[in-house]
């Protein structure tokens, strides 16, 4: 049984990590969050120690390390705000633990280079949660593309709208210096999926970027991609609104809808199983999507060109 520490225990994604730790037969020894609203922990590890001050958490983790292998932390799981990931990853490595970090691993490509050096110095491993790579339908699509030797360039349309309330822009997620903006905060897993399946990016154009929406065009080795991301409820298509849904996701490949709405429930647990067995996704796997999101964030929008996207006219 492995001992885990969890940073960002009150966050949206943290319960999936708690569940994964429990379902893989491991123990959450200690958790940290600046907020003390973490009652969800009672559903998984009610006996876990908890701190709301990083300094006391740091001291406790060090104390466990000094008590010996039975008590020391084996993994630090990171669910904190995006801009803190780099610092919290370093904390884990310097405390002689492996790390499991949510997306985005870091905000800037050069942060990965720095973390690679610390990995080598400490001999520890950084693992990134890239759960879409474990989805059966996505694996099937990748296998299909990999076996296609015709040189065909696929046309992809990606739309992801996940409505958020007014709180979004007032939280750290609405601060581009902390979240990385829309392309990083809600788009990073799609950019990872696309580059994993269709190859490295060759060029990128950003047509629109606001605090709530972004869209553009990517050329990958095997695909041309039009993409659109938004947290505005006014961008939801009519069918989603009529169905009472606040999230809409659509990906078409050469005009055919690619369906992968089901099968997400256990992907964090599967990620943990792979990581603990030594097969997690590391720094090298995360780099493409980090670079793509960074370039989008720092690009100058060229404006809409023609019938760019069916939802843009609604905003």
The pLDDT tens digits for 104-120 are 999 999 999 999 999 99
- Tell me the pTM: 0.92
pLDDT at 305 (0 to 100): 53
> Residue 34 is part of a domain; what is its CATH number?
3.40.50.720
pLDDT band for position 190 (cuts 50, 70, 90):
very high
Query: At which of 101, 128, 155 does a domain end?
Result: 128
Examine the domain organization and report whether 208 and 124 are in the same domain.
Answer: no
- Listing DSSP states for the chain in one string gives --EEEEE-TTSSSHHHHHHHHHHTT-EEEEEE-SS---GGGGGT-TT-EEESSHHHHHHHHHHHHHH-TTTS-SEEEE-S-GGGHHHHHHHHHHTT-EEEEPSSS-SSHHHHHHHHHHHHHHT--EEE--GGGG-HHHHHHHHHHHH--S-PPEEEEEEEEE---THHHHSGGG-HHHH-HHHHHTTHHHHHHHHHHH-SEEEEEEEEE-SSEEEEEEEETTEEEEEEEE--GGGS-HHHHHTT-SEEEEEEETTEE----S--TTHHHHHHHHHHTT--B-HHHHHHHHHHHHHHHTSPP----SS--TTGGG-
Residue 313, pLDDT above cutoff 60: no
Mean pLDDT, the chain, whole residue set: 93
What is the mean pLDDT of the segment spanning 189-199? 96
Residue 306 within a domain? yes
Residue 175, pLDDT above cutoff 80: yes
The pLDDT tens digits for 237-250 are 998 899 999 999 89
Examine the domain organization and report whether 173 and 237 are in the same domain.
Answer: yes
pLDDT band for position 303 (cuts 50, 70, 90):
confident
pLDDT at 259 (0 to 100): 77
Examine the domain organization and report whether 156 and 290 are in the same domain.
Answer: yes
pLDDT at 263 (0 to 100): 63
Examine the domain organization and report whether 168 and 42 are in the same domain.
Answer: no
pLDDT at 304 (0 to 100): 62
**By residue range, what is the domain housing residue 102?**
3-128
The pLDDT tens digits for 10-31 are 988 999 999 999 999 999 999 9
Residue 199 within a domain? yes
> Residue 245 is part of a domain; what is its CATH number?
3.30.360.10
């Amino acid at each position: 049984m492995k001992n885990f520490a969890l940073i960002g225990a009150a966050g949206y994604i943290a319960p999936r990590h708690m569940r994964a730790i429990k379902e893989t037969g491991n123990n959450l020894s200690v958790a940290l969050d600046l907020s003390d609203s973490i009652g969800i922990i009672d559903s998984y590890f009610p006996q876990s120690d908890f701190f709301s001050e990083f300094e006391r958490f740091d001291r406790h983790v060090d104390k466990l390390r000094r008590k010996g292998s039975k008590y020391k932390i084996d993994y630090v799981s990171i669910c904190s705000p995006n801009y803190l990931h780099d610092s919290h990853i370093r904390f884990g490595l310097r405390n002689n633990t492996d790390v499991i970090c949510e997306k985005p691993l870091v905000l800037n490509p050069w942060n990965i280079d720095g973390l690679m050096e610390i990995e080598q110095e400490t001999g520890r491993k950084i693992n990134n949660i890239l759960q879409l790579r474990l989805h059966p339908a996505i694996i099937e699509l990748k296998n299909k593309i990999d076996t296609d030797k015709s040189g065909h360039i696929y046309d992809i349309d990606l739309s992801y709208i996940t409505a958020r309330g007014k709180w979004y822009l007032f939280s750290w997620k609405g601060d581009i210096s902390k979240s990385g903006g829309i392309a990083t905060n809600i788009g990073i897993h799609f950019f990872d999926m696309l580059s994993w399946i269709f190859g490295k990016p060759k060029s990128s154009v950003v047509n629109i970027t606001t605090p709530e929406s972004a869209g553009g065009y990517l050329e990958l080795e095997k695909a041309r991609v039009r993409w659109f991301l938004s947290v505005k409820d006014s961008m939801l298509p009519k069918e989603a609104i009529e169905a009472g849904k606040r999230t809409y996701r659509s990906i078409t490949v050469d005009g055919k809808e690619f369906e992968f709405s089901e099968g997400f429930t256990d992907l964090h647990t599967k990620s943990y199983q792979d990581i603990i067995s030594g097969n997690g996704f590391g720094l090298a796997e995360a780099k493409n999507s980090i670079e793509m999101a960074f370039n989008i964030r720092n690009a100058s929008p060229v404006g809409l060109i023609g019938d760019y996207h069916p939802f843009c006219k609604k905003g």
